[in-house]
Chains A and B, each alone.
Chain A
Amino acid sequence: MILDLIATAVFVSVVLTAVVLVWRKLPVAGAIAAGEPVCLACQIPAGLLAADSFICPACRRDVRVLGIGLVRPRGFAAPFWRLVNYSVGLCAVGLIASALVTANLPTVDYVSALSNTQVEGEPYENLDINVTGRRTGNGPLEGELSADLYLNNGELVTLVVQCPGLRYRVIDTRGHESQWSDEPLSQEAVLSWLAAGGMDVADPQIRRQAPWMLRKLESGLAGMPDASFGEATTLQPRYFRGGTSSTSSSGPLPQAVPLCVIAWSLIWLAGMWLILRQATLTPGGGPA
């Protein structure tokens, strides 16, 4: 977000600077490129004509016959076309180069997934696991998992796990949030979550569900929460029904596009400045 803002500011500033630069320098550059006005009959500089006579001192012809014009009238637009062609070229090069660069960088997958599991015969009736985050290349998920356990009395107790550090915190039935843990997610974390829901974690029936729940959380942290129960064992609650849904999208590294925009904007401005500077230099080498 910050980088996007910086890129936007750089882009807009560069464009505005270029507009001012072009507005001030391009007419000067055009005039220099077009050369000085001359008698179109003999090419003698018009400055040599007398102020009170239309007769050219060199060819002795009335300048009103062929006129007074520029040495290179087409040259007036030359700096303009140089700027346009340079901009077009840079756009094309920038498009291709940026596409090549981003294609060779790892892509980022944005993941958002939800699993819902309903059980029966347990102190809780529903377990929702939400995962949102992003994964760069084959790296770990960067984001957050929240597991909502709806108790039979209607209350909710939530376990929130940060990725990739796997630190966690519990939000109890009154909405109070515990501090982030120092330890990573483990079976003990699951038990503390169940305890926050008022469950007796000393009860072997509750305790033996911790590995099953941890497995579900870990599958969620892998980016795809698992709603299936797999092979029935006595270690898991009685499955009632459930489902999963997920959405994902891929894109380049979030830093890639803004950095490309910043770099190409500055290169474009530098090129514009160089073209105009060169075009406004007088034949003697000094600025016009």
Chain B
Amino acid sequence: MIFATLFILVILALGGGLAGLLITGLGPVKRKILAGPVCGKCGYSVVGLTTMTCPECGGDLRVSGIVTPGTPQHTGALAAYFFFTSLLVFIALVGSGALLSVVPVRRSFDRDVQLAGPHSKAYQRIAIHAHEATWGAGRRSLPVEIELVPNLVATAPASSAQAMPPRMTVRPGAGYEYLDGSSRVASQDAFGANAVLAWMKIAGIDTAAGEVQREAARVAGQAHAAVRGAGLASSQARYNGLSSSSSTGSDLFNSISTSEAVESQVQVFVPIGLAGFWLAVWIAGLVFLSGRRRHQSPVTEVAGEPKE
């Protein structure tokens, strides 16, 4: 992410540098084709004037200056623009790097546990998924979603609402909820094996079987571990692009596979804001170098041809 941002800044600087030369770089060149003396502020011809006041801009020519074809010309403007642009690229890289190294990052964590091949054969598998995106690092509790994938034949859905895989949501410290047909069942009670069994029953599974009860307890246990934010969720590193996976079996499931991933991301508005800021600084610098923003001073390198 940082390298991508820096790359964008370099491209912007180089591209902007060329564009800027088109914007401001023509001024000193144009002066070569001056036909006569002009106001140093607005470029209006001062030939034939009787007073030191410019009729175009109203400026005092003793302050804003008079530019003539004979006025000594200052060379090296293009070199100055290039020099400034390249120095600003370096400053932008260092400055942006400094900001990106401290700006708060958004961390997203995913934990997926697949309990497949239950020995009860009452369903295909149960997936437990925890996802959270927060600022900063450290341990946190996560909301967890449990999904039951029914057997294709053995478990017929009791209603059309159950044609979708039944889902249960467990919220840290705030109970759990699931859909029973079209009605929502929510409980503030502590989540546990009994909640899983009630949910499985809704899905049409015979929960009287001993193996199913043990499996429900295992599902509840795995969900508890996920809610608690075990594993990479509590990693304290600022930047992570970590993932891990493990697979095992048990007396209850043929396969228990766990995969985790934690990602840290700088919010997209940060590099965009940085790019915009440095672009503005660069344009302001070029404008200043071109002499278009001066404080009560005459301009000897004004752009433009004399206006008649």
Interface residues in chain A, defined as those with a beta carbon under 8 Å from any beta carbon in chain B: 1, 4-5, 7-8, 11-12, 15, 19, 26-28, 30-31, 34, 37, 40, 46-47, 49-54, 63-70, 73-74, 76-77, 80, 84-85, 87-88, 91, 94-95, 110, 112, 114, 116, 118, 125-126, 128, 130, 132-134, 143-144, 146, 148, 150-156, 158, 171, 173-176, 241-243, 245, 247, 249, 251, 254, 257-258, 260-261, 264-265
4 smallest beta-carbon distances between A and B, as pairs: A156-B221, A154-B217, A27-B295, A154-B218
With a CB–CB cut-off of 8 A, which chain A residues contact B98? Answer: 11, 94, 260-261, 264-265
Instruction: Provide a sorted-by-A list of 5 A–B residue pairs whose CB atoms are within 8 angstroms.
Output: A1-B137, A26-B288, A63-B66, A69-B300, A156-B221
Kindly report which residue of chain A lies nearest to residue B45, judged by CB atoms: A64
Kindly report which residue of chain B lies nearest to residue A258, judged by CB atoms: B102
Tell whether, in the assembled complex, residue B221 and residue A155 are in contact, meaning their CB atoms are under 8 Å apart.
yes
Interfacial residues of chain B within 90-142, with CB under 8 A of chain A in the complex: 90-91, 94-95, 98-99, 101-104, 135-139
Query: In the assembly, what is the distance between CA of A73 and CA of B221, in Å?
Result: 79
Query: In the assembly, what is the distance between CA of A84 and CA of B103, in Å?
Result: 25
Please classify how large the interface on chain B is, using the bins under 10, 10 to 19, 20 to 34, 35 or more.
35 or more
Query: In the assembly, what is the distance between CA of A77 and CA of B80, in Å?
Result: 10
Tell whether, in the assembled complex, residue B244 and residue A143 are in contact, meaning their CB atoms are under 8 Å apart.
no
Interfacial residues of chain B within 225-253, with CB under 8 A of chain A in the complex: 225, 228, 230-232, 234-240, 242, 244, 246, 248-252
- The answer to whether residues A245 and B224 also contact, given A70-B298, A154-B214 and a CB cut-off of 8 A, is no
- The answer to whether residues A154 and B52 also contact, given A4-B103, A37-B65 and a CB cut-off of 8 A, is no
A175's contact among B87, B191, B236, B300, by CB below 8 Å, is which? B191
Tell whether, in the assembled complex, residue B87 and residue A152 are in contact, meaning their CB atoms are under 8 Å apart.
no
With a CB–CB cut-off of 8 A, which chain B residues contact A49? Answer: 52, 62
Tell whether, in the assembled complex, residue A40 and residue B72 are in contact, meaning their CB atoms are under 8 Å apart.
yes
- The answer to whether residues A1 and B37 also contact, given A69-B300, A156-B225 and a CB cut-off of 8 A, is no
Interface residues in chain B, defined as those with a beta carbon under 8 Å from any beta carbon in chain A: 36-37, 40, 46-47, 49-53, 60-63, 65-68, 70-72, 74, 80, 84, 87-88, 90-91, 94-95, 98-99, 101-104, 135-139, 190-193, 213-222, 224-225, 228, 230-232, 234-240, 242, 244, 246, 248-252, 277, 281, 285, 288-289, 291, 293-298, 300-301
With a CB–CB cut-off of 8 A, which chain A residues contact B71? Answer: 40, 66-67, 69
Q: A94-B98, A132-B232 are in contact. List 7 more A-B contacts (CB 8 A).
A: A37-B62, A64-B37, A95-B94, A132-B234, A152-B251, A154-B252, A245-B246
Query: In the assembly, what is the distance between CA of A191 and CA of B258, in Å?
Result: 28
Q: Is the interface of A mostly helix, strand, loop or mixed?
A: mixed
B61's contact among A68, A84, A241, A260, by CB below 8 Å, is which? A68
CB distance from A53 to the nearest CB of B (A): 8
A37's contact among B63, B139, B289, by CB below 8 Å, is which? B63
Query: In the assembly, what is the distance between CA of A181 and CA of B253, in Å?
Result: 35
Tell whether, in the assembled complex, residue B65 and residue A69 are in contact, meaning their CB atoms are under 8 Å apart.
yes
Kindly report which residue of chain A lies nearest to residue B88, judged by CB atoms: A84
Query: In the assembly, what is the distance between CA of A51 and CA of B54, in Å?
Result: 11
Tell whether, in the assembled complex, residue B297 and residue A112 are in contact, meaning their CB atoms are under 8 Å apart.
no
CB distance from A25 to the nearest CB of B (A): 9
CB distance from B286 to the nearest CB of A (A): 11
Query: In the assembly, what is the distance between CA of A150 and CA of B249, in Å?
Result: 12
Query: In the assembly, what is the distance between CA of A52 and CA of B218, in Å?
Result: 100
- The answer to whether residues A64 and B47 also contact, given A11-B98, A245-B246 and a CB cut-off of 8 A, is yes
A155's contact among B53, B102, B193, B235, by CB below 8 Å, is which? B193
Kindly report which residue of chain B lies nearest to residue A85, judged by CB atoms: B87
B70's contact among A31, A65, A156, by CB below 8 Å, is which? A65
